[in-house]
Amino acid sequence: MAVENLAPVEKKEQIEESFVYLDDEIEKSHSKLVVKDVNGWFGSKQALKSININIKPNSVTAFIGPSGCGKTTLLRCLNRMHEMTTGAKITGEVLLDGLNIYDKAINPVIIKRRIGMVFQKPNPFPTMSIQDNVAAGLKLNGVRDRNLIQDIVEDSLKGAALWNEVKDELDKPGVSLSGGQQQRLCIARALAMQPEVLLMDEPTSALDPLASSKIEELISNLRERVTIIIVTHNMQQAARVSDFTAFMYLGELIEYGATNQIFKNPKKDLTERYISGKFG
């Protein structure tokens, strides 16, 4: 199985063959991700209520909303992580370039390769070196080509703006880095899989302001490489880094639009009250 996953190019072709471009879905084909009527549960508790959202390619989209409104849950529905939680359930479709990631025929490993994730707290693998952390996804999925791995490690660390700081100590344990560096290491680890979409769940909430601003800068630069969705409860951050903003409340998507519009001229009263700090 691992060897199969080694040939992303072949797989991509296979996946592309199964694309369906229906007339009424042309609009959707311009989106990198299309979330269609997604409902999510933890046991009997519904955490997501009929979410519909289209994510534009090479953009940064921010999910904002008060704590517990379902931002993390929605994010985890986008790379099939939600179903890993015991008792968790999901209905609806998530289309990646028109392909439903919940389709039974799809290799879930390919989905994980195409949609990367960065977590709230930096979580480098504690027993692995910096180098091995970045290479972990490739090596453990069966990639053997050392030169390829070496090239990708360097490219990913550069992509995560960490290369200059660590290039002379790639053999040091990943956990020996500072918090901000660890988070960038985790971004490099995700980038190594050559994802098309990068999901980030409050990636700076465990970091100091300086480290946070580095990550924000990085996010802006990464836009050219991947489509980014970032969960944040920091509204200034959403305003700074994102092109589009989705405001969620109690498991529902209340308003979604260009970040400028959401912050300057929200259509919904609820959004306006949240943006202006009246609750949250």
Partner 1 sequence: MIVMNSEKNNPKNNENKQYTDKINNYIKKKYKRRIITNKLVTILTIISVVVAVIPLGSILIEVIKNGSEAISIEFLTQKPGALGSGKGGIGPAIQGTLIIIGLSSALSVPVGMLTGIYLSEYSKNNRFSTVVRFVNDVLTGLPSIVIGIVGYVTLVLTLGSYSVLAGAFSLSIIMIPIIVRVTEETLKLVPNSLREAGYSLGLSKTKITLNIVLSTAKSGVLTGIVLAISRIAGETAPLIMTILGTSLFFSSFTGPVDALPLRIWRLASQPYESAHSFGWGAALILIVIVLFLGVGLRVLIRKNLAKVEM
Near ligand ADP by CB under 6 A: residue from 15, 33, 35, 47? 47
Query: Is residue 18 at the binding interface for ligand ADP, with CB under 6 A as the rule?
Result: no
Nearest approach in angstroms of CB 208 to Mg ion is 20
Confirm if 135 and 152 have CB atoms less than 8 A apart. Answer: yes
User: How would you class 72 by CB atoms within 10 Å of its CB: exposed for 0-12, middle for 13-18, buried for 19 or more?
Assistant: buried
Query: Is residue 138 at the binding interface for ligand ADP, with CB under 6 A as the rule?
Result: no
Q: Which long-range contacts (CB under 8 A, 24 or more apart) does 258-264 make?
A: 259/62, 263/235, 263/238, 263/239
Query: Is residue 113 at the binding interface for partner 1, with CB under 8 A as the rule?
Result: yes
Nearest approach in angstroms of CB 103 to ligand ADP is 24
Near ligand ADP by CB under 6 A: residue from 67, 84, 209, 278? 67
User: How would you class 171 by CB atoms within 10 Å of its CB: exposed for 0-12, middle for 13-18, buried for 19 or more?
Assistant: exposed
What are the residues facing 94 on neighbouring strands?
35
Stretch near ligand ADP under the rule CB under 6 A, chosen from 40-48, 151-159, 191-199, 258-266:
40-48
Q: Which residues contact 35 (CB under 8 A, 6 or more apart)?
A: 51, 52, 53, 54, 55, 74, 77, 78, 92, 93, 94, 95
Calpha distance 50→32 (Å, rounded): 19
153 touches which of partner 1, Mg ion, ligand ADP, none (CB within 5 to 8 A by kind)?
none
Query: Is residue 85 at the binding interface for ligand ADP, with CB under 6 A as the rule?
Result: yes
Calpha distance 61→84 (Å, rounded): 24
Q: State which of positions 72-91 bind Mg ion (CB under 5 A).
A: 72
72 vs 227 by CB, closer to Mg ion? 72
137 vs 266 by CB, closer to partner 1? 137
Q: Which residues bind partner 1 (CB under 8 A)?
A: 1-2, 5, 79, 81, 84, 86, 108-113, 116-117, 119, 121, 123, 125-128, 132, 135-137, 139-141, 186, 189-190, 193
Q: Which residues bind ligand ADP (CB under 6 A)?
A: 42, 45, 47, 65, 67-73, 85
Q: Which residues bind Mg ion (CB under 5 A)?
A: 72
